[in-house]
Amino acid sequence: MTPLTPQELDAIALSLKVAFWATLFSLPPGILAAHALARWQFPGRQLLNGLVHLPLILPPVVTGYLLLLTFGTRGPVGAFLQETFGLVFAFRWTGAALAAAIMAFPLMVRAIRLSIEAIDPKLEEAAGTLGASRPWVFATITLPMMLPGVIAGAILAFAKAMGEFGATITFVSNIPGQTQTLPSAIYALLQVPGGEAAALRLVLVSVVIAMAALLLSEWLSVRAARRVAGR
């Protein structure tokens, strides 16, 4: 097997970069949304639940097109961000990261929410009677105890972000070195005659990365769960 070409290496590096930033930036809002859905009572809770889950049930092409309408250079949010912060999403790797983050968000929130719901609220109550205000209770009790769920959610989101295709290609197209992630590269190779062999190599790389992420998440989760359960 010949070594990977620079273009293939670019696609792999870009995918890892996109998935990393997508996961990192969706963690704080993911934890917040999961906490809100698990513990808060507020009007519009069902609406928030629906919004969070929307990317899971919409066709990815639709999500990508909506992103283009909103975050494109002529979209309301996109234009504002470009003028104010010089931040451009359309046809850039940042856009790929945004699309991946949105698509992975429901998976992340679900995993974290489950771990929050598994925490006995009576423990948080007990921390309150010991003098801890709500933010302190969250920082010292809730957050450490939901850690296994956060780790699981983050790895799940990372894997999903690595594999995101539909929304990404719709929103930021398939520009080598800029927005051509691993799945886009595989797709592109399959479009050219005789590209199957090259595509297969990238498929193998995909499988290896996904398996590594899965094993890592298992290992981290077991460790964190053991810590939280106090063994």
Partner 1 sequence: MSLSVALAHRLPGLDLDIAFEAPPGVTTLFGRSGAGKTTVVNAVAGLLRPDRGRIVAEGEVLCDTESGIWLPPHRRRLGYVFQEGRLFPHLSVRQNLTYGRWFAPGRRDGDDFARILDLLGIEPLLTRRPAALSGGEKQRVAIGRALLSRPRLLLMDEPLAALDEARKAEILPYLERLRDEARVPILHVSHALAEVARLATTVVAIQDGRVIRTGPAAEVLADPEAVPALGVREAGAVLTGRLAAHHDDGLSEIALTAAPLFLPRIAASVGAQVRVRIAAQDVMLALEAPRSISALNILPATVIAVRQGQGPGVVVQLRSGEDVFLARVTRRSADAMNLGPGTPCFGIVKSVAVAQSDVGRGRQP
Binding stretches for partner 1 (CB under 8 A): 120, 122-123, 125-134, 136, 140-141, 144-145, 227-231
145 touches 81 (CB < 8 A): no
Q: How far is CA 47 from the centre of its chain?
A: 21
CB 55, min distance to partner 1, A: 32
- DSSP 8-state secondary structure symbol assigned to residue 181: -
Residue 24: is it exposed, middle or buried by C-beta count within 10 angstroms (0-12/13-18/19+)?
middle
Q: How far is the CB of 144 from partner 1 (least distance, A)?
A: 5
If the CB atoms of residues 128 and 176 are measured against partner 1, the closer one turns out to be 128
Q: Which is nearer to partner 1, 108 or 146 (CB)?
A: 146
Which residue, 74 or 223, has its beta carbon nearer to partner 1? 223
Q: How far is the CB of 231 from partner 1 (least distance, A)?
A: 6
Q: Output 11 or 145, the one with its CB closest to partner 1.
A: 145
- Locate all alpha helices (DSSP H) within 40-146, ordered by sequence: 45-57, 60-71, 76-85, 93-117, 121-129, 134-137, 143-145
CA distance readout (Å), 184 to 142, 165, 175, 188, 195: 39, 6, 9, 6, 13
Nearer to partner 1, 28 or 135 (CB): 135
How near is the Cβ of 140 to partner 1 at its closest, in Å?
8
Rounded to a whole number of angstroms, the minimum distance from the CB of residue 33 to partner 1 is 23
Q: Which is nearer to partner 1, 18 or 145 (CB)?
A: 145
Closest by CA position to 153, among listed 119, 121, 106, 212: 106
At its nearest, how many Å lie between partner 1 and the CB of residue 130? Answer: 4
Identity of the residue, 145 or 188, whose beta carbon is nearer to partner 1 in the bound complex? 145
- Torsion, Cα of 190, 195, 197, 198 (10° steps): -90
Q: Pick from 4, 6, 7, 48: which is nearest to 185 by CA?
A: 7
In the complex, minimum distance from the CB of residue 134 to partner 1, in angstroms, rounded to a whole number: 8
Q: What is the DSSP letter of 74?
A: T
